[in-house]
Structure 1
Amino acid sequence: KTTSGGHDLENKKCECTECAEIRRSTGCENPNECMGKASQFLATLPPRWDPRGVHPEDYENGEDEEDPPEENAKWFERKVTTNGHLGNAFRIF
């Protein structure tokens, strides 16, 4: 079977752009098998942790209508997705 993008689902030597890039960037010799294993692994995750799903909390505004209760205080960022350095994603209280 070949997809509209030229990806051959049954050929471990598929030469489509995506498979060629996966081989080049990761060294994977059989992208179809790797994609299948990754899909099986992701299927074991509960919906809350599955990155393929839509997670409404990612789209919350995160800004309350009121000002923070203390001067120079900031509201906690409630979004699940992060930007920047990984260390910025952790908080210690």
Structure 2
Amino acid sequence: MTVGGDERSWGRSWHAPVITTTLRRAATDLAELRGAPEPRLEPLTERDLALLSFTDPLWREFAEMSYMSERPFLVDDSDIRNPFGLKPSTLRTALTT
């Protein structure tokens, strides 16, 4: 609503403010909120993905996109934070709504 009603927003796309966290942190917080045990997360190896791809074609897609897990995947949302004063919800708020 804030961006759509502002003349500065026209003529380009905008990244919404993003929560910067790790999958491990999000999973741990969600488990804590739901009273579940702390999750045990382990990365899949290339061999794991290759074997899984024999059982379901969806796993081939994960293998193809695995480069996205080799380094942090960050979105720069400063363009929307600074001029519009927007910020993301906290991780805890996002997990409880």
TM-score of the aligned structures, taking structure 1 as reference length: 0.25
Point out which structure has higher relative CO (alpha carbons under 8 A, 6+ apart): 2
TM-score, normalised on structure 2?
0.24
- Which entry has the higher C-alpha Rg, 1 or 2? 1
